[in-house]
Amino acid sequence: MTSRQPETDDDLLMLMRSGDEQAFVSLYRKRQAALYRFAQHMSGSATVAEDITQEVFLALIRDECGYDPDRGTLSGYLFGIARKLVLRHLERGRSDVALETDGEDAGWPQLAVNDDPLADLTHREGIEALRRAVQALPRRYREVVVLCDLEEVDYADAAFILGCPIGTVRSRLHRARALLLEKLNQERNLRPVLGWKPVRCLT
């Protein structure tokens, strides 16, 4: 009879600390993708996102790992480490490199298999516009959008990750969404000027 697999992050972490390698693998598989997407959206670089994701899990397996379940969730703790690493990267001044195109769709809504090329094109243009708009947001707004809207982190965890009150998360998110809408509307209005024809998807 096989033992039941633990379901919570804390269970996996406890097993991992007792030397269970499979628990580390399970925790990595469970949390790696979201951390990678967060780092990529914040840095604009797939390479940086890969490095940061690896560093987050290396920090977790070190003896001096400071995770305290009384202060927040393990997921929030991991996002917090990722955020600090992203900020360190941005402070080094490497954020002015051109955004990478390899793997650029990671973390964005995927296209459904569709027999309508016009609808596919419209969908792709919409995702690309959203990506540009998110990347253009000031950092404090970009991180709340990525955490709360793209990664669906709850406000309490977001507040823990960002080190601010929940009210601040809510107000930043409200402002960030308004800025995103403004940027997307500006791009939509620019298309006729640049000779692009707006395409409507009748679905």
Higher per-residue pLDDT: 19 or 122: 19
pLDDT at 12 > cutoff 70: yes
Give tens-digit pLDDT for 26-49: 999 999 999 999 999 998 889 999
- Within 13 A of 51's CA, how many CA atoms are on the CB side? 10
Tokens, residue 164 = 């601010």
Exposure string over 99-111, b if 16+ CB within 10 A, otherwise e: eeeeeeeebbeee
Among 25-39, 101-115, 170-184, which stretch is predicted with the lowest mean pLDDT?
A: 101-115
Q: Are 145 and 134 in contact (CB under 8 A)?
A: yes
pLDDT digits (tens, 9 = 90+) for 126-162: 677 788 888 889 999 999 999 998 899 999 999 999 9
* Whether the model pTM is above 0.95: no
Domains of the chain: 1-107 (1.10.1740.10), 111-203 (1.10.10.10)
d(CA 131, CA 41): 8
Mean pLDDT for all residues in the chain:
79
Q: Comparing C-alpha atoms, which of 63, 51, 46, 56 is closest to residue 83?
A: 56
